């Protein structure tokens, strides 16, 4: 029997000796992590028998009792797996027996006469949409968004050559360069971010009006000073929430939002975002405001202001080698 860290709950370091499991909702926070416990954590990422975890802890200087106590503290984020075994050989079925004993298809009954149906309803008018959309991202959701926009008659681009609107699809944290380039060019952009507990859509940033994505990051820093350290560790990770069902739901909603924005010139999400709960499917709306420390509404020159603010935000130490990066 093998125990391992449940990949459903991302492990991030809040500081050089404090770990957290879960991003949207912290399931477990453990301070005072020792060197021996780090070795055990590294083994638990891929899976290890409990005796093996105790042995690794002992090699790093921990007593068996200390390692056992550490495993008990980790119990909420551990899962047990059974090693795969070789499947028993199976005997091929005698197809000749099947051919003689299997019942054949039944004859279908003749179709009944049908009365004339009602008159077809009037097809609603499709709003006229002008401009192209750049879908910045890869994976099933980005592909579905491109397909649905095509079905709506909205051309998409893979490059960023002056689209009318951009959609930025990612996991956990968006690299600043991915949304900053749209901000400095006054191009509306809509983030779609899969995290561990929810999928966030919005706000649809209208440069110079309403909050930008850096405003949201400053709000997260205000709520948790360890967020920059954790965000830097989440770059490049894949969230477990991009399931087929969530991807379909999100892609359909995003395509409708984009069509409405291009047709009407305004979006209901210009200062709000939608959060789709990964477990319940519940959708919550969150309102956002421009952050007082962000210069996104001081256009032009907002990128220079953002860089200055980023340098001024103090960050807690982190064991991650990368610098903290806002999304």
- 303: domain CATH number? 3.40.50.720
Q: Where are the beta strands (DSSP E) in the chain?
A: 2-5, 11-15, 18-21, 28-30, 78-81, 133-136, 156-157, 165-171, 189-194, 198-201, 272-277, 283-287
At which residue do the structure tokens 């959701």 appear?
A: 141
Cα distance from N-terminal residue to C-terminal residue, the chain: 40
Tell me, yes or no, whether 187 and 248 share the same domain: yes
Question: Residue 194 pairs with which residues in a beta bridge?
Answer: 171, 199
Of 188-197, 263-272, 291-300, where does mean pLDDT reach its minimum? 291-300
Tell me, yes or no, whether 150 and 293 share the same domain: yes
Mean pLDDT of the region 122-146: 82
Asked if residue 102 is part of any domain, the answer here is: no
Residues 6+ positions from 229 with CB-CB distance below 8 Å: 12, 13, 14, 15, 315, 316, 317, 318, 320, 324
Q: Which CATH number is 55's domain given?
A: 3.90.930.60
Asked if residue 126 is part of any domain, the answer here is: no
Asked if residue 118 is part of any domain, the answer here is: no
Asked if residue 146 is part of any domain, the answer here is: yes
How many of the other CB atoms lie within 10 Å of CB of 130? 8
**pLDDT above 90 covers what percent of the chain?**
68
Tell me, yes or no, whether 148 and 73 share the same domain: no
Mean pLDDT of the region 183-204: 96
Tell me, yes or no, whether 157 and 289 share the same domain: yes
pLDDT for res 306 = 40
Asked if residue 35 is part of any domain, the answer here is: yes
Tell me, yes or no, whether 137 and 244 share the same domain: yes
Q: What is the largest CA-CA distance in the chain?
A: 84
pLDDT for res 158 = 78
Which pTM does this prediction carry?
0.76
Band of pLDDT at residue 93, cut at 50, 70 and 90: very low
Residues 6+ positions from 63 with CB-CB distance below 8 Å: 57
Pairwise CA distance, residues 275 & 280, whole Å: 11
Asked if residue 117 is part of any domain, the answer here is: no
Tell me, yes or no, whether 72 and 156 share the same domain: no
Tell me, yes or no, whether 140 and 288 share the same domain: yes
Tell me, yes or no, whether 71 and 140 share the same domain: no
Asked if residue 239 is part of any domain, the answer here is: yes
Structural domains in the chain (count): 2
Tell me, yes or no, whether 160 and 44 share the same domain: no
Last-in-domain residue among 45, 61, 81: 81
Tell me, yes or no, whether 143 and 285 share the same domain: yes
Tell me, yes or no, whether 75 and 138 share the same domain: no
Last-in-domain residue among 81, 99, 121: 81
Asked if residue 114 is part of any domain, the answer here is: no
Residues 6+ positions from 200 with CB-CB distance below 8 Å: 191, 192, 193, 273, 274, 275, 276
DSSP code at position 76: G
Q: By residue range, what is the domain housing residue 48?
A: 2-81
């Amino acid at each position: 029997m093998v125990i391992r860290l449940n990949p459903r709950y991302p492990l991030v370091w809040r500081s050089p000796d404090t770990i957290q499991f879960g991003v949207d909702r912290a399931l477990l926070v453990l301070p005072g992590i020792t060197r021996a416990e780090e070795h055990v954590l590294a083994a638990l990422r891929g899976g290890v028998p409990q005796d093996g975890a105790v042995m690794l802890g002992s090699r790093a200087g921990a007593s068996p009792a200390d390692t056992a106590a550490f495993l008990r503290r980790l119990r909420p984020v551990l899962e047990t797996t059974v090693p795969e075994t070789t499947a028993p050989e199976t005997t091929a079925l005698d197809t000749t027996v099947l051919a003689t004993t299997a019942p054949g298809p039944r004859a279908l009954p003749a179709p009944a006469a049908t009365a004339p149906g009602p008159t077809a309803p009037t097809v609603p008018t499709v709003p006229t949409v002008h401009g192209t959309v750049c879908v910045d991202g890869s994976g099933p959701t980005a592909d579905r968004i491109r397909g649905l926009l095509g079905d709506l008659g909205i051309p998409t681009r893979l490059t960023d050559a002056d689209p009318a609107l951009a959609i930025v699809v990612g996991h956990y944290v968006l690299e600043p360069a991915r949304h900053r380039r749209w901000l400095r060019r006054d191009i509306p952009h809509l983030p779609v971010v899969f995290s561990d507990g929810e999928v966030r859509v919005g706000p649809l940033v209208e440069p110079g009006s309403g909050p930008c994505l850096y405003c949201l990051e400053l709000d997260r820093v205000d709520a948790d000073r360890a967020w920059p350290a954790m965000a830097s560790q989440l770059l490049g990770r894949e969230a477990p929430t991009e399931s087929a069902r969530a991807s379909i739901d999100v892609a359909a909603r995003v395509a409708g939002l984009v069509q409405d924005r291009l047709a009407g010139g305004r979006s209901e999400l210009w200062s709000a975002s939608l959060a789709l709960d990964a477990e319940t499917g519940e959708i919550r709306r969150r309102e956002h405001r421009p952050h007082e420390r962000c210069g996104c509404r001081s256009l032009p020159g907002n990128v220079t202001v953002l860089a200055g603010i980023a340098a001024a935000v103090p960050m807690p130490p982190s064991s991650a080698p990368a610098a903290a990066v806002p999304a």
